[in-house]
Structure 1
Amino acid sequence: MEDFEVKTGNPKSRFEAKLLRPAKPDGDACWAFVILPGAASDTLPRRGRTSIDGTINGAPFRAMLEPDGNLGHWLRIDAAMMAAAGAEFGDVAVFEVAPVDEEPEPEVPDDLRDALAASHEARVVWEDTTTLARVDWIHWIVSAKQAATRRKRVDEACDKLASGQRRVCCFDPSGHYSKAFKPPKAAG
C-alpha cells in the first residue's frame, strides 16, 4: 500500500513494511529496521542522510534516514519507537514519512568537536557552513570502518576546513557509486 499527499509543502509517503531484526545489532539488540520503498525515498530531498518526521502505526517520531547504497534509504527503529507503535520484530507496520521542513543541526561527535575546538580557522569555517554540509562532514567521519581511518578523517576535515573548504570533497553520501553504504542484514 502506497499513496502520496502533500502537506506543508513536503511530500508525505505512506507505506507498509515489515520490522526486521538486524543479524548483528551492534550492541543494543532492541532495534529494528525497515528499508523504504523506492517511491518513498524518491520523494525525499537527497539520497544521503536526511531527517524525516513520521509515524509508525500512528505514533509520531523524528529520525535520520541512512542511505542504502541504491539511491534509497533505510530507517533504524529503536525500542521506544517500537513500543510507542505497539509493534514487534516481524510485524508489518504502517509508516508515514515526510522530509523535515528544516534539517536539524547534527550532533557533533566528541572527537570532531575536540579537533574543531583546537583549530580556530577550522571552527570558523565549520560554523559558517550549511547544516547539510555539516551532516555530510560528520557522515564522512563516522562512516570510517577503522579507528585509524576515523582519526585521519577528523584531521583531514580540520585541515580542509581551515583552508576554506566548506564541503567534504569526493564523498558520495548516498553510497551508490562507491557501494559504501547498505542497510543491515536481517536476521534469518
Structure 2
Amino acid sequence: MPKQATPIRFEAKLHRPAEPRNATWTFLVLPQAASTKLPTRAMTSVEGTLGDAPFAATLEPDGQGSHWLKVPDKLREAAGVEAGDMVTLEIRPSEQQLESPVPKELRDALKAHPAAKATWDASTTVARRDWIAWMTQGKKAETRGKRLAAMMDMLEHGKKRVCCFDRSGIAGKNFSAPEAAE
C-alpha cells in the first residue's frame, strides 16, 4: 500500500473572476508556502477538503511559481462559503492525475486522424493534459487552429509529448491565475 502524502493545510481568500463578468464560479490562489510542498510547479491533481467539503481537482500553475484552484459552485455551496471569504483547505497530491476535459475540436480532429488517436491513447494522462494546455493556451483562434494541426501531425508521427512547453508558465508566461473582481 503506497504511503499517503502529508496533508498540506492553508487558508486562502476566495475570489470571483473579473472575466467573464457573469461567472458564477470562484477561485483561490495557493499561498507560496503551500504550493512549494507540491511535487511540481506544473498542473497537478490533488484531493482534499475545502472547509468540510471533499473534492478532487487539478491545480493550475499561476505563472508565478504557485498554483490556483477553480472552485465550482457545487463545491463552494457544499463548503458553505462565498466569494470574499477566507477558506481553509487541506490537500494532498493525488496518487493518480485527473484527465483534462478534451475540447470538442480536438475530439473531432482525433476522430479524423486514427494514427494520431492511437498515439494519443497510448500517451500518459500528464502528456494528454500538456497537449490540451498547449493547444488551448493560444490567445487567438488562428493560433489554436495551427497548434491543433501541428498536434495532429506530431501525434501521427508517434510523438507522445509536446516539446518545448513551459509546464509551470514561469518562463513562457503561458499560465496565470484569473484576475479577481474587486
Tell me the TM-score normalised to structure 2 length.
0.93
Match of 1:18 in 2: 13
**Residue 57 (1) aligns with residue 51 (2):** yes
- Determine if contact 2:16/2:27 at 8 Å carries over to the other structure: yes
- CA deviations on 1:43-71 (whole Å, 9 max, x unpaired) are 22222222111211111111111110012
Code of the residue aligned with 2:86 in structure 1: it is V
- CA deviations on 1:104-142 (whole Å, 9 max, x unpaired) are 232211111111111122111111111110010011112
- Cα pair distance change 1:105/1:33, threshold 3 Å: closer
Give the counterpart of 1:122 among 116, 121, 129.
Answer: 116
Which structure's residues are more often strand, by fraction?
A: 1
| CA-CA distance at 1:28 after TM superposition | 4.7
Identity %: 47
- Determine if contact 1:11/1:43 at 8 Å carries over to the other structure: no
Alignment of 1:1-188 (within 5 A): 8-24=3-19, 26=20, 28-188=22-182
| CA-CA distance at 1:154 after TM superposition | 0.9
Cα distance in structure 1, aligned partners of 2:24 and 2:93? 25
- Determine if contact 2:110/2:152 at 8 Å carries over to the other structure: yes
Deviates more, 1:42-51 or 1:113-122: 42-51
RMSD between aligned residues: 1.6
Unaligned segments of structure 1, at least 5 residues: 1-6
Runs of 4+ with >3 A deviation? none
- Determine if contact 2:58/2:98 at 8 Å carries over to the other structure: no
Cα distance in structure 2, aligned partners of 1:104 and 1:173? 16
Code of the residue aligned with 2:40 in structure 1: it is R
SS of the equivalent of 2:28 reads strand
